[in-house]
Amino acid sequence: MANLLAAQGGRPLRDGLADLATWLGVTLVAGSALWVVADVIWHGVGAVNWGFVTTAPQDAGRAGGISTILVATFLVLLVCMTAALPLGLGAAMYLSEYGRGPMGRWVRRSLDVLAGVPSIVFGLFGAVFFVQVLGLGFSILAGGLTLACMVLPILIRTTEMAFSGLPQEYRAGAAALGFGPSGILLRVLLPAAAPGLVAGLILGVGRALAETAVLIFTSGYVDRMPDSLLDSGRVLSLHIFDLSMNVPGGDHNAYGAAVVLLLILLVINGIGGWLSRRWIGRGIVAS
């Protein structure tokens, strides 16, 4: 009896401690998240104006803006997605429709491993394979292609999920109308899976935009306006890194670039969400 009472006496205290720990931990996490974001906005918003995004960097980036950086970033993303999208789409269709055999298992397994490879290692790979072996040099092309290797797993996984999530009735319905495999996939399933594909694309672009380590040894540091895809070009995230680490007095513009980067990510995610909602709203997606 005495034991029972003691246990009951101890319980509220322990429960109270558990509750306290939870609230403390959550406050800490939320506080840190807000701190990081608020700090970047606080320091960076002053640097951002129309001139900042339309003029080229000067004095190693301390002065001037980020126009050439934005162009290089856009080009790297373009190369990355041009390479990764068709490849990823084809692979995802293969996996969702024919991927139950040994070949499908092998591809899935490889992609799982690829998804785990650290980004700096992709950088090493790109520096040998695209830059040296394929002779692309430090270039937007080399950087974009290396980046494509990195986003491939996430692109394929989301796309495959979008396809295999479609009701079996669409396949049977199309087949019953005499559609061949390519007709079923390209004309019926592809449009039906479009919102999922957009989500995958957005995720991939987001990953690619945030990436730095892959590009240090592949697309390079040059901050001039790139003349062609074989020119070196410095992407936004690498610009932030370089300004804050290697350029004394570059913090101000580093923060400005960080705000722009966060804004672009926000806008891209917003567009992605809006697109899928619009699709669903028009009833084009089975709900």
Pairwise CA distance, residues 86 & 165, whole Å:
20
Token duo for residue 54: 């339309």
C-beta closer to other proteins: residue 2 or 245: 245
Name the β-bridge partners of 221: none
Smallest separation, CB 31 to other proteins (Å): 10
C-beta closer to other proteins: residue 140 or 193: 193
> Do 256 and 44 form a contact (C-beta atoms < 8 A)?
yes
Pairwise CA distance, residues 120 & 206, whole Å:
17
Smallest separation, CB 27 to other proteins (Å): 10
C-beta closer to other proteins: residue 52 or 241: 241
H or E stretch at 89? helix 67-98
Q: Helix, strand or coil for residue 64?
A: strand
C-beta closer to other proteins: residue 75 or 93: 93
Smallest separation, CB 18 to other proteins (Å): 4
Pairwise CA distance, residues 280 & 247, whole Å:
48
Smallest separation, CB 231 to other proteins (Å): 18
